[in-house]
Amino acid sequence: MGGRRDWLSKDFLILMMPAFILLLVFILYPIFNTFYLGFTKWDGFTQPQFVGLDNYRTMMGDPLFWTSVKNNIFIFIVFLPFVTMLGLGFALLLHNSAVVGRNLLRGFVMLGMVMPLTVVGIVWMLLLDPNAGIVNHVLSFFGVEPRAWIQDPSTAIYFVIIGSLWAWQGFSTTVFLAGLEGLDVEVLEASVIDGANPWQRFRYVILPLLKPALVVVVTMSSIYILKVFDLVYVLSGGESVPMYLSVLAYMVYYEIFRMFKWGYAAAIATLLTVAVFLFSIGMLKKMISERGVGS
């Protein structure tokens, strides 16, 4: 028995070694190296100089940092409920065989997910072009004057959210659809026999059973939107992103490739990583506790 356990243990280690090496090289080392660089002053060329907490002190007094934090929080608060509700709504429609045009709807929902974010950004940039964009053209029929939507601080951030919704909607829909496909048919039939109407069946039967899918959608969507960069960068024309559109992920890029402040950028990236990590751990704990209660 002991020999068999030893053989299994050795075999397990051999099989896991390639995955562990990849994890170490591409995930753990960059994370710890970034954490270290956050305490240094480095331009990417010379030897890093240890400066302690100076980067974090600079961050606390940086107006661009606080604007980026505010934008990230606003985008997160608006994006998360919409991507969740829309994903669930589309999944319910696609799950219903009585809905006409399901294939067309599925293609529309999944289109944004299969397109690279840079392409999504270019599409939205063309749609919102102040001179030739189709959005202004359509709105002109309703008497709305042409407007530079992305260049307007009062509207630009909303189109980042809309573009992000289109790009990520396919994921949330797919997760909810998989959850619906996995529901116990007998439970649903029992609710019908007990006299539950469609709303009661959804509210008290389907929705509680979809909690694991909901946790996955909320967790992955939160990680996605907290590190949003591509869409902001492309919508700004690939040049310097205006302050009213700046987010933390762009600020990391800006400090590295425009200002050559690798240490400061690493400090910002560390805070962003910690925020995403803590949120993810919280959601995973919630999912595990709910499964424990359910079982």
Q: Which domain holds residue 159?
A: 63-294
Residue 146 domain flag: yes
**Do the beta carbons of residue 159 and residue 150 sit within 8 Å?**
yes
Residue 9 domain flag: no
**267 burial level (CB within 10 Å; 0-12, 13-18, 19+):** buried
Residue 258 domain flag: yes
Q: How much helix, strand and coil, in percent to the nearest 5, is found in the chain? A: 75, 0, 25
Phi and psi torsions of 121, nearest 5° = -65, -40
Residue 11 domain flag: no
**Residues 272-287: tens digit of each pLDDT:** 999 888 888 888 787 7
Residue 114's CB is within 10 A of a number of other CB atoms, namely: 10
**CATH number, position 250:** 1.10.3720.10
What is the reported pLDDT for 286?
A: 76
What is the reported pLDDT for 290?
A: 65
What is the reported pLDDT for 253?
A: 93
Question: In total, how many domains does the chain have?
Answer: 1
pTM reported for the whole predicted model: 0.86
Residue 155 domain flag: yes
What is the reported pLDDT for 103?
A: 84
What is the reported pLDDT for 8?
A: 55
Closest CA to 273 of 232, 221, 213, 226: 226
Long-range contacts of 236-241 (CB under 8 A, 24+ apart): 236/150, 237/125
Paired tokens of 47? 């030897």
Paired tokens of 143? 């008497």
Residue 256 domain flag: yes
Q: What is the 3-state secondary structure (H, E, C) of 200-245?
A: HHHHHHHHHHCHHHHHHHHHHHHHHHHCCCHHHHHHCCCCCCCHHH
What is the reported pLDDT for 113?
A: 85
Paired with 50 in beta bridges are 40
**Residues 88-145: tens digit of each pLDDT:** 999 999 998 888 888 888 888 888 888 888 888 898 889 998 888 999 999 999 988 8
Residue 172 domain flag: yes
Residues with pLDDT less than 70, the chain? 1-8, 239, 290-295
Residue 196 domain flag: yes
What is the reported pLDDT for 262?
A: 96
**N-to-C CA span, the chain:** 32
| Residue appearing with tokens 């595990």 | 288
What is the reported pLDDT for 229?
A: 92
